[in-house]
Structure 1
Amino acid sequence: MTTTSETVDVLVAGSAGALAGAYTAAREGLSVAIVEATDQFGGTFAYSGGGGMWYPCNPVLVRAGSDDTIDEALTYYRAVVGDRTPAELQETYVRGGAKLIEYLEQDDHFAFKILPWPDYYSSVPGARNDGMRHTVCKGLPGERLGRFQGLVRGPLDHERLGEPQPDFLTGGRAVIGRFLWAMADNPEIAAHLNTSLVELVVEDGRVVGGIVECDGERRVIRARRGVLLAAGGFEQNAEMRAEYGVPGTASGTMGAPGNTGLAHKAAMAVGASTDLMDQAWWSPGLVHPDGRAAFALCFTGGIFVDESGRRFVNESAAYDRLGREILNAVRDGTLGTPYWMVYDSRAGEQPPVMATNVSFSPTSEYEAAGLWVQADTLEGLADKIGVPAANLVDTVRRFNELAERDDDEDFGRGRESFDRAFTGGASPLVPIDTPPFRAAAFGTSDLGTKGGLRTDVDARVLDDEDRPIPGLYAAGNTMAAVSGETYPGGGNPIGASLLFSHLAALHMAASR
């Protein structure tokens, strides 16, 4: 039997994008309870090196002189996403980010700056290739967080490699830190770590609270205005991945450990409808000595080859686009796990990857695990990675010819802005001609699942007949992604999560 332990206006499950909802509700005069399944705040946000928000025409960009328009941004977003998600949901996101930044800048706890990051479909009408749709939080010292000091998750090197946790919060940790700082002195905000929402309480067809579990004990937190579910995806739940056909494995995800789908299940149990449940935010993953593939991007050289020893993809494409091509090749049976990046020794032993997200371990550890191999000849390298030697030699010869012309006729590498974003505009077509020749093992990684609860423009969860379930809201990766089966630009997942959490809280604040 469970007992009611507290009653608040708003119950929030999750502590990444969910914090925008908690903050907004409190700022609008509501009492809030936050429940976080793990012992730290931040979720997957806290692993993001940039923590970017894709918010076209927001005040930070306007002050810097951006000539972008919402109409151009909408043209781009709709062209990329298509009709996979409702047009009104897409428009709410594209228009709403600027208003959220304006709302937050009224509070001195928040400060932003521009981190130029080109849109991921550079050739689509309306694309912004100068990166002027991407905004990040300025960093801050952890000591400002008051009662929440030392409780922000990440970064990945701390959790996976045991590196000291930085006292200064940057990237996604800065986003989390600024919301916690803004809420630290508010007595109307209760925060419960190691506490999972496992069921929803429904009375007369309305969600009026949640059953939460901590240390094996269950209790009820009642919510007068509503419950916001923004507890991440279900990427860490192997059974749910299998049930919904999500490729890859839990060991290869970059999702936070508490992302097991409990909020999804609680909502579905009360009639919530879902969409995109087989989808995730994809990327290639460099395989590290612990056997886990970790999100990697910014490839400044090298080529990927399939089981026949042939190139099959634009290696410098935006990571979700690249990840999807890799998954297609796996489905077609032309690509195994692991697959290989082939490169040479012009820059040393390490593969040409600028952003590994989990730092490189010593080369000897990769070599001992059979993850990095080398040979004096391409034929010898082909033997070590198990591909036909003649094909690999021919593939490298062809690639070197394309590199000399700086024109990838085969896969278009270097033809879009993103392809050259990390080489200072220089060609990403770098010849492979300096022995010894090398190869590094790659696998499939993801930044979390993106399938979840269907919502309207106020983030209200919908049932199978498109009716809002009274008192129930969703955002982040617990919500079916507004971007559908695409990833339009850096900062889309974080931006959408913050915005729809904010909109949910505004709707609850306006409800009586």
Structure 2
Amino acid sequence: MTGVWDEECDVLVVGSGGGALTGAYTAAREGLHVIVVEATDRFGGTTAYSGGGLWFPCNAVLRRAGATDTIEDAKTYFHAVVGDRTPRELQDAFVDTGAPLVDYLESDDAFAFMVYPWPDYFGSAPKASPTGRHIMPEPLEPARLGALRDALRPPLGTDRAGHPLPDVVRGGQALIGRLLLALTERSADLRRETVCDEFVRDGDTVTGAVVTGPDGRYRIRARRGVLVASGGFERNAEMRARYGVPGDARDAMGPEGNLGRAIQAGIDAGAATDLMTEAWWSPGITHPDGTSTFSLWFTGGIFVDDDGERFVNESWPYDRIGRVIIERMAAGRLTLPYWMIYDDRDGPRPPVRSTSVPLGDTRAYEDAGLWLSANTLEELAGRIGVPAGALAETVKRFNAFAEAGEDEDFRRGDEPYDRAFAGDGGPLVPIETGPFHAAAFGLSDLGTKGGLRTDATARVLDTSGRVIKGLYAAGNSMAAVSGTAYPGGGNPIGACMVFAHLAALDMAGR
């Protein structure tokens, strides 16, 4: 009974991350009545946990800082990295729209951005930028948010480790905060603890959705359309298993509400999907509670596999490392945990400066058998279960590379990103000062990246390639524009915002 509705709006937005709220903001600014439904008790999605970086080539913020990049160069880079895994028109829509979206947002006093240099992730690809195409939101004082801060998903250190809220609202927190401020000024209807798991389809058109909130289940008619931007399904163990996504739901960095319910609703409504085995991967340091969390900024150390041998450039961008880990696991050469080997120059704590969830006391990791130490490499090899001779030879070979300043095996240090966190000494830090240490690592992810297939205006396609009118998708609910690659920092949130913005503009023009 498609004609029976409990309430109506112009645009229904499912989710509340950076993309969802950008779509909601655009629709509201264009004069449409917007309802946002968020499944959990906090707004912000995975964006609220993130650094808030945005990969938007040639935008005004970069231009004001003196950048001379061109859209043609940015497209050359993006096409080279992504290849033909996704439609070229989809790729171009992303690259072309970032800068105009920044202009659109900056015309509202609620938004302010700053340059944050972050090299592109494939530094040897044509037209890669050594300083990146990356901006992030300006921080906010908590007082400006007022009561909205209580509705904002806290950062990971607070949410998972119980740390106090920071004194300043930064990164993804600031992006969500600014979007919430702008939306409240435009009287958007923002609802929490409201789950959307069913779309209403009338012929070739989605006309609304069925949601469940604190007061029960009800039907919302969406006159212009429904935008699905509720994240991926990384926290849904059954769905991961169904599609063969490597890794474990507990090691994903998305909020617990990222269960893929709206993606499944789209599938039930006839939508096509793509990239359903994929995620934004990362090595993850393992904590005493058994979780392995997204980790980067390694100032030393090497990774070894079950044979006690190096298998990757440890200073590569995290997704590139994650993909090698998955390949090694599939080949039977690596089991979890694998180990980072490092020396005692900075003590027993591993040379990892960003672990998403802050590290706890050293003793807790040692007692859990996650950080091991020994006076010799041979003894350490026995403790982590790899061949003693192989580990000693691996370290000897790496130390020779460090002395020569050239990694002949994996080219660590050759690309700008490799050197971004290394300081003046570079990333080739020898392992020579005993006692020697090993830290356990697993496979983490920032979320799945498979979802509903769309065209270049974010309209969802059915299994025959036809547009399902009234249904749109963005972010990790959409099959990622970047395919199986991760071109640069800020690509996930940037793409989510772009396609949500395009979806809202399309709905405004209907």
Q: Give the corresponding residue for 1:486.
A: 485
User: 1:31-430, aligned counterparts within 5 Å?
Assistant: 31-48=33-50, 50-131=51-132, 133-145=133-145, 148-166=148-166, 168-187=168-187, 189-215=188-214, 217-424=216-423, 426-430=425-429
| 1:168 to partner: Cα distance | 2.7
Aligned with 1:9: secondary structure? strand
Give the direction of change, closer, same or farther, for the CA distance of 1:216–1:277 in structure 2 (3 Å limit): farther
Deviations along 1:441-490, one digit per CA (max 9) or x if unpaired, are 00000000000011111100011222110000000100000000000000
Q: Which amino acid aligns with 1:109?
A: A
- Range moving further from structure 2, 371-380 or 216-225: 216-225
Q: Distance in 2 between matches of 1:399 and 1:219?
A: 62
* One-letter identity of the residue aligned with 1:42: G
Structure 1 residue 289: Cα displacement: 1.2
Q: In structure 1, what is the equivalent of residue 11 of structure 2?
A: 10
Partners of 1:141 and 1:427 lie apart in 2 by 36
**Cα displacement (A) at 1:146:** 5.1
AA matched with 1:186: R
Contact 2:348 2:373 in 1 (8 A): no
From 19, 22, 40, the equivalent of 1:20 is: 22
The DSSP-based 3-state class of the residue aligned with 1:168 is coil
- Assess if the C-alpha contact under 8 Å between 1:142 and 1:177 holds in 2: no
2:150 partner SS: coil
Alignment check: 8 A CA contact 2:29 2:186 kept:
no
Letter in 2 for 1:117: W
Q: Is the 8 A contact 1:459 1:504 kept in 2?
A: yes
Displacement of 1:411 after TM fit?
0.9
- State the distance in 1 between where 2:70 and 2:330 align: 40
Distance 1:167 1:175 in 2: 16
Which secondary structure state, in structure 1, belongs to the residue aligned with residue 460 of structure 2?
strand
State the 1:82 CA deviation. Answer: 0.1
1:425 Cα deviation from its structure 2 partner: 5.0
Residue aligning to 2:471: 472
Letter in 1 for 2:249: A
* Structure 1 residue 355: Cα displacement: 1.1
Tell me the amino acid that sits aligned with residue 134 of structure 1: H
- Counterpart CA distance in 2 for 1:111 and 1:59 is 11
Structure 1 residue identity aligned to 2:454: T
Secondary structure of 1:221's counterpart equals strand
Amino acid at match of 1:324: R
1:215 to partner: Cα distance: 4.0
Structure 2 unpaired stretches of 5+: none
Output the TM-score relative to the length of structure 1.
0.97
How far is 1:166 from its partner? 2.8
Secondary structure in 1 aligned to 2:476?
Answer: helix
Q: How many corresponding residue pairs?
A: 508
Deviations 1:258-283 (A, max 9, x none): 11010111111111000000000000
Contact 1:399 1:431 (C-alpha < 8 Å) held by counterparts: yes
Q: How far has the Cα of 1:403 moved from its partner? A: 0.5
- How far the C-alpha of 1:293 sits from its partner, in A, is 0.2
Aligned residues of 1:146 and 1:181 also touching (Cα < 8 A): no
Instruction: Check the 8 A contact 2:231/2:260 in 1, yes or no.
Output: yes
Report what 2:32 is aligned to: 30
Which string of whole-angstrom CA distances, capped at 9 and with x for unpartnered residues, describes residues 164-197 of structure 1?
Answer: 223531111111010001111333x111100010
Unaligned 5+ runs, structure 1: none
Query: What amino acid is aligned across from residue 251 of structure 1 in structure 2?
Result: R
Letter in 2 for 1:35: V
Report % sequence identity. 59
SS in 1 for 2:151: coil
CA separation of 1:11/1:167 partners in 2, compared to 1, >3 Å: closer, same or farther? farther
User: What amino acid is aligned across from residue 29 of structure 2 in structure 1?
Assistant: R
TM-score if structure 2 supplies the norm length? 0.98
Q: What residue identity is the alignment partner of 2:141? A: P
Q: State the distance in 2 between where 1:323 and 1:42 align.
A: 25
Q: Which amino acid aligns with 1:104?
A: L
CA distance in 2, matches of 1:176, 1:124: 32
Aligned 8 A contact 1:147 1:184 in 2: no
Could you give the per-residue CA deviations for residues 338-379 of structure 1, whole angstroms, max 9, x where no partner exists? 000000000122111111111110000000100000001111
Cα contact 1:453–1:461 (8 A) shared by 2: yes
Query: Which structure 1 residue ranges, 4+ long, deviate > 4 Å from structure 2?
Result: none
- Look up the SS of the partner of 1:169 in the other structure: coil
Give the deviation of 1:426 after TM superposition.
3.2
CA distance, structure 1, for counterparts of residue 105 and residue 174 of structure 2: 14
> Deviations 1:124-152 (Å, cap 9, x if unpaired)?
11100022x10000011233235633111
